[in-house]
Structure 1
Amino acid sequence: MATLEIKDLHVSVNTDEGKKEILKGVDLTIKPGETHAIMGPNGSGKSTLSYAIAGHPKYEVTSGEVLLDGENVLDMTVDERARAGLFLAMQYPVEVPGVSMSNFLRTAATAVRGEAPKLRTWVKEVKGAMSDLDIDPAFAERSVNEGFSGGEKKRHEILQLSLLKPKIAILDETDSGLDVDALRVVSEGVNRYKADNEVGVMLITHYTRILSHIAPDFVHVFAGGRIVESGGPELANVLESEGYVKYTGKQEEASAV
């Protein structure tokens, strides 16, 4: 179990017009077992937040802190952040031709756990996790995400979640591109892992449909590079009916990054 604290986080990126500030002072605390839904319009900086926490080199943190149980993860390399317990399920998972899913998963698990899992135990663990997510065992020998549908890519992101066992899970628009059945399976996978491990979850989404499967404890409206309103699950229903107009009308909207 771990607590993630984001304190006055400012992040910039380089553009053709020069350096542009995207995050403009983000404050958020996620405690063990809590699910925080981050909702907002396109280009508001939601994905920038996830990439900055994970350590993407494109995003420059100009001030602020991101603490995991008191340790500033911004001082860590990307792999150190993963070993510390951070996990990012990407909105657009990348293809890695020539690297099989089985090799990728075992290598990742070895890096995070600090030692290679025993093969017999590992095979059983992977098969069970794949079965839970309705993933065909044949996918284990296919190249990472190569030729996968959107739903298959997202299932494999949650497969990684269940096998790497992070303390904080950041899910960046995991619902995008999913049909009804895939959304149900992916959501069940997240809920199962959360129930078993008391993980803190940051769930970035535009829509409320995934929130009917993964119940948030808190909902935050993200606009203009910062959180502009927070509330309980009922806030998501307000956003569903009213949209983000009142927030984007008052906040300067960041460029889509």
Structure 2
Amino acid sequence: MSTLEIKNLHAQVRPTEDGAEPKQILKGVNLTINSGETHAIMGPNGSGKSTLSYTIAGHPKYEVTEGEVLLDGVNLLDLDVDERARAGLFLAMQYPVEVPGVSMANFLRTAATAVRGEAPKLRDWVKEVREAQEELSIDKAFSERSVNEGFSGGEKKRHEVLQLGLLKPKFAVLDETDSGLDVDALRVVSEGINKYKERNNGGVLMITHYKRILNYVHPDYVHVFADGKIVTSGGPELADELEAHGYDRFL
């Protein structure tokens, strides 16, 4: 059993060279996620949901001014980005970046080697990747293409979930993984997330605007995020309420 604890987290956009004042985004976030749990964070645009995900992962744009993020008692904020990944944290980005010149095959094996501490045996690794690709309906030809280069939005999101399944983190932060997906891709991606949970007893922090992915990846808890913090929490029924009435009463 592992635990991810976010305690009184405050963060701001780092000051820029043009002298602009730092902008406070996170204003005291508190949240605890245990192994096997799925927590959905829902909220309006500009409320700070993506900032939360990037701050946890260590994006250099954001500066933590107060608080802790503890993974099994270790403060992730004291670790570099790669160390956070090795500690068991995974971030699926809302807008996965393209990395020209680096093949998906090399990227995936290098990432697995870094996280596992040793290179997987090639024959076993090829089989592992191929099975994971088949589950996500990914053509094996994608292995030789550059990371995300020329991929559609749905293809990028499937490859994020492919990484999730291969790296097997303790906790996955999924930042709007459902955005840009058609109905078929949403179902496939959701099945990949559910298999990750079942096989690894992983914890999931699902950031989303809409309830539709929660019809496939069922949350244990739903939290409403507004003005840089969680303003209310509840069970899965809260997502139905938000779908019906929106966020106005929380703004």
CA offsets per residue over residues 97-147 of structure 1, 9 Å max, x none?
000000000000000011100000000000000000000000000000000
CA offsets per residue over residues 195-251 of structure 1, 9 Å max, x none?
111100000000000000000000000000000000000000000010001111xxx
Could you tell me which residue of structure 1 aligns to residue 139 of structure 2? 136
Any idea what SS the aligned residue of 2:154 has?
Answer: helix
Could you tell me which residue of structure 1 aligns to residue 2 of structure 2? 2
* 1:1-257 paired onto structure 2 within 5 Å: 1-13=1-13, 14=15, 17-248=20-251
Deviation of 1:189 after TM superposition, in Å, equals 0.2
Q: Give the distance between the partners of 1:47 and 1:187, measured in 2 at CA.
A: 20
Deviation of 1:58 after TM superposition, in Å, equals 0.5
User: What letter is aligned with 1:174?
Assistant: T
Q: Give the distance between the partners of 1:17 and 1:116, measured in 2 at CA.
A: 45
Deviation of 1:72 after TM superposition, in Å, equals 0.4
User: TM-score scaled by structure 1?
Assistant: 0.95
User: What letter is aligned with 1:27?
Assistant: N
Please identify runs of 4+ aligned residues in structure 1 that moved more than 4 A. none
Deviation of 1:181 after TM superposition, in Å, equals 0.2
Identical amino acids, percent of aligned pairs: 77
Q: Give the distance between the partners of 1:17 and 1:98, measured in 2 at CA.
A: 35
Structure 1 unaligned regions, length at least 5: 249-257
User: What letter is aligned with 1:7?
Assistant: K
Deviation of 1:17 after TM superposition, in Å, equals 3.8
User: What letter is aligned with 1:6?
Assistant: I
User: What letter is aligned with 1:202?
Assistant: L
User: What letter is aligned with 1:3?
Assistant: T
Q: Give the distance between the partners of 1:113 and 1:177, measured in 2 at CA.
A: 31
Q: CA RMSD in A?
A: 0.8
Aligned residues: 248
User: What letter is aligned with 1:4?
Assistant: L
Q: Give the distance between the partners of 1:212 and 1:178, measured in 2 at CA.
A: 14
User: What letter is aligned with 2:221?
Assistant: F
User: What letter is aligned with 1:192?
Assistant: K
CA offsets per residue over residues 152-177 of structure 1, 9 Å max, x none?
00000000000011000000000000
Structure 2 unaligned regions, length at least 5: none
